[in-house]
Amino acid sequence: MTTTEEQAFPTDLEIARAARLRPIVDIAADVGLDGDLLEPYGRHVAKVSLRARDVLAERPQARYVLVTAVTPTPLGEGKTTVAIGLAQGLARAGRRAVVALRQPSMGPTFGIKGGAAGGGYSQVVPMETMNLHLTGDFHAVTAAHNLLAAMVDNHLHHGNELGIDPHSVAWRRVLDVNDRALRNVVVGLGARVDGVPRQAGFDITAASEVMVILSLATDLADLRARLGRIVVGYTREGEPVTAEQLKAAGSMAVILKEALAPNLLQTLEGTPALVHTGPFGNIATGNSSVVADLIGSRMGDYLVTEAGFGSDMGAERFFDLKCRVSGLRPDVAVLVATVRALKAHSGRYVVRPGKALPPEMLAENPDDVRAGAANLEHHIEILASFGVTPVVAINAFPGDHASEHAVIAEIAAAAGARCAVTRHVAEGGAGAGALVEAVEAAAAEPASFRFAYDLEETLVDKITDVARDVYGASGVDLSPAARTGLEQFEALGYGDFPVIIAKTHLSISSDPTLLGAPRGWRMPVREVRAAVGAGYVYAIAGDMRTMPGLAKHPAAERIDLDPDGEVIGLS
């Protein structure tokens, strides 16, 4: 695509506005969902009843395709667009396809990153609805989370019958807005009747354990039980205090009852899209919901879903945590790679969020791509280690060159992976034809899926397995506090939990400055926490921001309403 063509290419919002959407009841009917299984939100969005699992139970299991990526640049490599474009391409090939995605957070929508409805001619629509509120699930998570926070402080105010150590309370409040000023606050200031003063803070709603619980719950009973197991803090004797003990879990479940049902939308080409939950990718699962996948896996021939960040993070958690809960097993893993990502991993360029790429990075230079090849090779190894057949999807950008694509294909072939260039952003499903062929060929191969560790292993061993076998670390260095915490969790009965490692997404390692595929490094774990309701222990290996801040000129400055009341500036 030339510069002139690039300038003439319409914006995502313009493309979405020009689309002729079908009534959502017709989209549902195409995949066997009757109207009595829908709760419409207007003409183009509906919630799908959890009863759909029983209604569709006798239908064949769809091929299960995960879309993941190499280690991303700060600009992202287009996993969502690839997932949407692949689903559209499968539909064009005569397959009944469904795509399952996370719901966008409004924090990034109004910040730097923008929305998460896809891009170009591979989008989920209505775009505005997708990115702004949708059916209110994020608000329900916010309300349920903050209700528990209020009941914690209310319990402290009214005598603290459970003997909670105020310094141990780890249940912060949440808000679906980027606001760095709320990262650390003091609550309870004022008169005696205003509560017990203590240090607290806010996270973004996507980082809430309630969001992870909603994404992992298999039904209402499971949701209610998980909410009850949430640990908000500890007594002075070291005993956990739960939401059940605070008598908050029932009300939280009531708030979340409707939010547990997945949302049905459509792509620009009328392919069904299940959009549900959005757990934070750094400290949580970074995957869409289990219930959406359980329903979607019976709706067609292929279910395409996406995991956050690179395969070292979102895909590992998809395999080791989400698949354990759902019981589903992936047939194919699509690994998104871009020329710009591999050039960035050459170490010759600096890519910054919100900034244009360096001009020299856009020049034809296959050697730069080859210099960053180790990152692609490592991610192929990660997927193969789980017994999942990898397919490399080269997400083509206008500034790419054929010689650069050829290098990526060569690297993939040498690593034993199929490879295809996809141009779905510019051409929709028609541009994903080669990727469809590669995915179908891979799906026809017998699967031999396996987890990275056994749940019977100790927590230390599980963390070490992921660090060594997935990330390529030579070992793990636990701080004294982390080692003590893991011993405490084992004693409390959390030893059989899966683990998540909270680390940077900008490197396979825990150091964001280490590009490519670093080896021989050791992973430091400074702290461990237990998300008991969600059912995992997470080790913190790096400085994680769970409440993002706004840039000097965030997207919120450009979003507005035109004289006709239409949204403008959304990207």
Superfamily of domain 51-103+266-443: P-loop containing nucleotide triphosphate hydrolases (3.40.50.300)
- Per-position b or e across 116-145, b if 16+ CB within 10 A of its CB: bbbbbbbbbbbbbbbbbebbebbbbbbbbb
pLDDT at res. 3: 41
What is the domain partition of the chain in residue ranges? 51-103+266-443, 137-258, 459-540
Mean pLDDT of 518-525: 96
pTM of the model: 0.95
Name the more confident of 551 and 267: 267
Confidence of residue 353 (pLDDT cuts 50, 70, 90): confident
How much of the chain, in percent, has pLDDT values that exceed 70? Answer: 99
Q: How does pLDDT run across 454-491, given as a tens digit for each residue?
A: 999 999 999 999 999 999 999 999 999 999 999 999 99
Instruction: State how far the Cα of 244 lies from the Cα of 259, in Å rounded to an integer.
Output: 20
Residue 311: DSSP 8-state = I
Take residue 154 and report the two structure tokens written for it: 């209310």
Q: How does pLDDT run across 123-134, given as a tens digit for each residue?
A: 999 999 999 999
Q: Assess whether pLDDT exceeds 70 at residue 97.
A: yes
pLDDT at res. 283: 84
Q: Give the type of residue at 373.
A: A
CATH of 137-258, one of 3.30.1510.10, 3.40.50.2000, 3.30.70.260, 3.40.50.300: 3.30.1510.10
Q: Assess whether pLDDT exceeds 90 at residue 350.
A: no
The CATH architecture annotation of domain 459-540 reads: Roll (3.10)
Identify whether the C-beta of residue 459 lies closer than 8 Å to the C-beta of residue 501.
Answer: no
How much of the chain, in percent, has pLDDT values that exceed 90? Answer: 85
Q: How does pLDDT run across 384-403, given as a tens digit for each residue?
A: 999 999 999 999 998 899 99
Three-class DSSP category at 547: coil
Confidence of residue 173 (pLDDT cuts 50, 70, 90): very high
Helical residues (DSSP H) of 297-351, grouped into ranges: 316-317, 323-326, 339-344
Please provide the distance, in angstroms rounded to a whole number, between the alpha carbons at the two ends of the chain: 21
- State the average pLDDT for the chain: 94
Q: Assess whether pLDDT exceeds 60 at residue 111.
A: yes
pLDDT at res. 5: 43
Q: Assess whether pLDDT exceeds 70 at residue 74.
A: yes
pLDDT at res. 51: 97
Q: Assess whether pLDDT exceeds 80 at residue 364.
A: yes
DSSP string, 496-540: TS-EEEE--SSSSSS-TT--S---S-EEEE-EEEEETTTTEEEEE
DSSP string, 110-146: TSSS---SEETTEEEESHHHHHTTTTSHHHHHHHHHH
Q: Assess whether pLDDT exceeds 90 at residue 318.
A: yes
Could you check whether 137-258 and 459-540 share the same CATH topology?
no
Three-class DSSP category at 186: strand
pLDDT at res. 7: 55
**φ, ψ of residue 538 in degrees (nearest 5):** -120, 135
Other CB atoms within 10 Å distance of the CB of residue 526: 15
Mean pLDDT of 178-187: 94
Name the more confident of 525 and 543: 525
Mean pLDDT of 530-556: 90
**φ, ψ of residue 381 in degrees (nearest 5):** -60, -40
Q: Assess whether pLDDT exceeds 50 at residue 2.
A: no
Between the alpha carbon of residue 246 and those of residues 192, 230, 240, 241, 250, the distances in Å are 22, 10, 12, 8, 10
Mean pLDDT of 186-214: 95
Three-class DSSP category at 234: strand
Q: Assess whether pLDDT exceeds 90 at residue 164.
A: yes
Confidence of residue 570 (pLDDT cuts 50, 70, 90): confident
User: What sign results for the dihedral spanned by CA atoms 450, 456, 459, 461?
Assistant: negative
Between the alpha carbon of residue 63 and those of residues 252, 314, 328, 398, the distances in Å are 35, 20, 10, 31
pLDDT at res. 1: 43
Mean pLDDT of 150-162: 97
